[in-house]
A and B are shown apart, each in its own frame.
Chain A
Amino acid sequence: MTDIAFQSGLGAADAARARVLRRLRLGDAAFHALTRAAAITVLALLGGVILALLEGAIPALSKFGFNFITTERWNPVTETFGGLAPIYGTIVTSLIAMVIAVPIGLMIALFLTELCPISLRRPIGITIELLAGIPSIIYGIWGLFVFAPFLQQYVQPALINTFGSVPGLSVLFAGPPYGIGVLTAGLILAIMVLPFITSISRDVFEAVPPVLKEAAFGLGCTTWEVFRNVVVPYTRVGVIGGVMLALGRALGETMAVTFVIGNAHRISGSILAPGTTISATIANEFTEAVGDIYTSALIALGLILFVITFIVLAAARYMLLRIERRLG
């Protein structure tokens, strides 16, 4: 009797236990599946972006074909669209930004890792990183009302006077000082990407094994020689990765550029002249675009921008992964 009661009690306990365990297992599997679905959503987002842009770009791309990226004519009235001017502007402004920001960014990283008093390192590092946090529209409004007039009054006349008569360079600095233009956009982009270059190169410089640097100092190298011949070669991949990441940012930057580039659909040899970039063209014209072909041409520009930045950013990430593996 007691035996049976005991056994059935045990059976009930077992059953309850099994029920609880099953519930937990189900909950576990459900949570696993949920997180997995979220991870796949991230992939789907990228796929969705590419598909949606492709779909939107097809009318323009099939109408203009390869000419879309080789011709300059952008005429909404006759509905002929060629994206060469914005593509050119995107590349030139980003190049100007890189030429200025890379050396300065690296020097700031050198300063932060080797020269700066320890107690100032964090505050100065944060100050520079806050630059990265300022929204691009703020750079835009500041660039338009403060920076561009300053350039127009002081910097551009000086550039024209200095280089205007130098053969070769005179083309670059031809024309009146508008204030706004390709150079101004490039300069603002340089300020915007500076923090990215600085913080990534600082991180990789800090990860250089001290033994390497100490050995070089022991041989009598100066601080600069250690930096130039030990730190930079050791971290080259990481630095290039950081530079590419900054380049990706510069290529796709929209609002700041839209404010100061002047939005002119033409290619000019002079960097003082107004121009346009892919992102500025889209930002300016998209809501005003009438007709399917016009909209589609703008989306096609967006697709080209996305493909370019995707390649640049993928290369950047690949290089940063490599340096991470090396530095551990």
Chain B
Amino acid sequence: MAQTVQTAATAARTRLYSGRRRWNAIMIVLAWCAALFGMAWLALILGALLWQGLSGVSLRVFTEMTPPPGADGGLLNPIIGSLIMTGLAVAIGTPIGILAGTYMAEYGRYGRLSSVVRFINDILLSAPSIVVGLFVYEVLVRPMGHFSGIAGAVALAIIVIPVVVRTTEDMLLLVPNTLREAAAALGLPRAYIVRRIAYRAARAGIVTGILLAIARISGETAPLLFTALNNQFWSTNLNAPMASLPAVIFQFALSPYNDWQRLAWTGALLITVAVLALSIIARALSSPDKS
């Protein structure tokens, strides 16, 4: 009698245990599937880009202007426009970002201002980029009366700043305080300690931040649509509408013309290769610090 009760209990326990194990196995398989699923998208997107874009890559892409529909042409003016605006945006955004990050890590590390700026900066970091475009339209394009390359560069700079602030602060916080103390003991003033010691120790990290910021803005389209607009023709005039790769991709991809769509794919491939290369270089630069 007692024995049958016991075996029944054992059987129940075994059943319970195998149920738990089965549930565990199902979840583990699902986790594997989720990981494969996540990676598959990268493969699918890169595959499509290579498939569609690679056939269009030729010397002509880099030497000719954007064509009217039905004609042959390249992407020279948007490539140059993107380079100019990206360079200018980095030139405007990086100093502000590095200085602000410096303030938060070196001068006001525990201050109220720093924690407020940190919070706001983190929000700006993920704020919708189209809103940045609207903002620059309101403060630059409307008063000037026309779209311009400089407005596009300012819009991109506003996206650069939070990225650089964040990485600069993080990297400066990693610099050991003993370094600063040793420099202070030698009688160096604070500004020198920051510039000569802390910046040098955090250089790789700060450069990583700048590269990530470039990667981020080189594909940004939304803030350019109504700041720099677009331009069918060769123009390096910062006071006039300027072509950019993302804006041209947007225009050409949604057009009904086959050769425009093909150029859009080629442009998309170029941007993706540039962005992925930048993020991989940035990672390679920052990884020795991490380990």
CA distance A104 to B38 in the complex (A): 8
Question: Which B77-98 residues have a C-beta within 8 angstroms of A?
Answer: 95-98
Chain A, residues 68-103, CB within 8 Å of chain B (1/0): the string is 000000000000000000000000000000000001
Nearest Cβ in chain B — how far from A202, in angstroms? 11
CA distance A108 to B113 in the complex (A): 37
From A130, A249, A252, A310, B130 is in contact (CB under 8 Å) with A252
CA distance A130 to B279 in the complex (A): 8
From A222, A224, A227, A287, B229 is in contact (CB under 8 Å) with A287
Query: Are the C-beta atoms of A135 and B218 separated by less than 8 Å?
Result: yes
Query: Which A residues are in CB contact (< 8 Å) with B162?
Result: 42
Query: Are the C-beta atoms of B124 and A42 separated by less than 8 Å?
Result: yes
Nearest Cβ in chain B — how far from A24, in angstroms? 5
- Residue B100 interfacial (CB < 8 Å): yes
Nearest Cβ in chain B — how far from A106, in angstroms? 8
Query: Are the C-beta atoms of A36 and B225 separated by less than 8 Å?
Result: no
Identify the stretch in A59-67, A138-146, A156-164, A266-274 within 8 Å (CB) of chain B at 4 or more residues.
A138-146
Query: Which B residues are in CB contact (< 8 Å) with A56?
Result: 134, 138
- Residue A118 interfacial (CB < 8 Å): no
Query: Which A residues are in CB contact (< 8 Å) with B165?
Result: 42
From A30, A42, A141, A255, B117 is in contact (CB under 8 Å) with A42
Query: Which A residues are in CB contact (< 8 Å) with B246?
Result: 135, 137, 255
From B32, B41, B97, B138, A191 is in contact (CB under 8 Å) with B41
Nearest Cβ in chain A — how far from B105, in angstroms? 10
Among A31, A55, A317, max chain B CB count under 10 A is at A31
- Residue A152 interfacial (CB < 8 Å): no
Nearest Cβ in chain A — how far from B191, in angstroms? 4
Chain B, residues 142-169, CB within 8 Å of chain A (1/0): the string is 0000000000000000100110010000
CA distance A48 to B154 in the complex (A): 14
Query: Which A residues are in CB contact (< 8 Å) with B23?
Result: 222, 224
Query: Which B residues are in CB contact (< 8 Å) with A222?
Result: 20-21, 23-24
Query: Are the C-beta atoms of A39 and B113 separated by less than 8 Å?
Result: yes
From A133, A198, A287, A305, B38 is in contact (CB under 8 Å) with A198
Nearest Cβ in chain B — how far from A243, in angstroms? 13
- Residue A128 interfacial (CB < 8 Å): yes
From A25, A110, A127, A306, B42 is in contact (CB under 8 Å) with A127
Q: Which 10 A-B pairs have the closest CB atoms?
A: A135-B219, A252-B128, A38-B99, A107-B34, A35-B103, A222-B24, A31-B191, A38-B100, A52-B138, A254-B222
Chain B, residues 115-155, CB within 8 Å of chain A (1/0): the string is 01101111110111111101101110000000000000000
Query: Are the C-beta atoms of A131 and B41 separated by less than 8 Å?
Result: yes
Across the two chains, which residue of chain A brings its CB closest to B96?
A38
Nearest Cβ in chain B — how far from A294, in angstroms? 13
Query: Which A residues are in CB contact (< 8 Å) with B210?
Result: none
Given A28-B191, A38-B99, A49-B131, 15 more contacts at CB 8 Å?
A: A32-B190, A39-B104, A45-B124, A108-B35, A111-B32, A115-B28, A133-B275, A137-B250, A137-B271, A145-B261, A194-B38, A194-B41, A254-B128, A309-B128, A313-B123
Query: Are the C-beta atoms of A133 and B117 separated by less than 8 Å?
Result: no
Query: Are the C-beta atoms of A36 and B275 separated by less than 8 Å?
Result: no
Query: Which B residues are in CB contact (< 8 Å) with A34?
Result: 99
CA distance A309 to B192 in the complex (A): 40
Across the two chains, which residue of chain B brings its CB closest to A313?
B123
Query: Which B residues are in CB contact (< 8 Å) with A135?
Result: 218-221, 246, 271-272, 275
Among A25, A28, A130, A137, max chain B CB count under 10 A is at A137
Across the two chains, which residue of chain A brings its CB closest to B119?
A317
- Residue B102 interfacial (CB < 8 Å): yes
- Residue B182 interfacial (CB < 8 Å): no
CA distance A39 to B48 in the complex (A): 43
Question: Which B198-219 residues have a C-beta within 8 angstroms of A?
Answer: 215, 218-219
A-B contact pairs, 30 of them (CB 8 A): A31-B191, A35-B102, A35-B106, A38-B102, A39-B99, A41-B96, A42-B120, A45-B158, A53-B131, A53-B134, A104-B34, A104-B37, A107-B31, A111-B35, A116-B35, A126-B283, A130-B276, A134-B45, A135-B219, A135-B220, A139-B45, A140-B253, A142-B49, A145-B48, A224-B23, A224-B27, A245-B126, A252-B131, A259-B253, A302-B134
Nearest Cβ in chain A — how far from B93, in angstroms? 11
Query: Are the C-beta atoms of A35 and B35 separated by less than 8 Å?
Result: no
Query: Which A residues are in CB contact (< 8 Å) with B220?
Result: 135
- Residue B61 interfacial (CB < 8 Å): no
Query: Are the C-beta atoms of A31 and B194 separated by less than 8 Å?
Result: yes
Question: Which B266-280 residues have a C-beta within 8 angstroms of A?
Answer: 268, 271-272, 275-276, 279
Q: Contacts A43-B120, A111-B35, A317-B123; is A27 near B191 (CB within 8 Å)? A: yes
Query: Are the C-beta atoms of B24 and A224 separated by less than 8 Å?
Result: yes
Across the two chains, which residue of chain A brings its CB closest to B131?
A306
From A30, A225, A305, B24 is in contact (CB under 8 Å) with A225
From B31, B190, B254, A28 is in contact (CB under 8 Å) with B190
CA distance A279 to B221 in the complex (A): 12
Query: Are the C-beta atoms of B190 and A137 separated by less than 8 Å?
Result: no
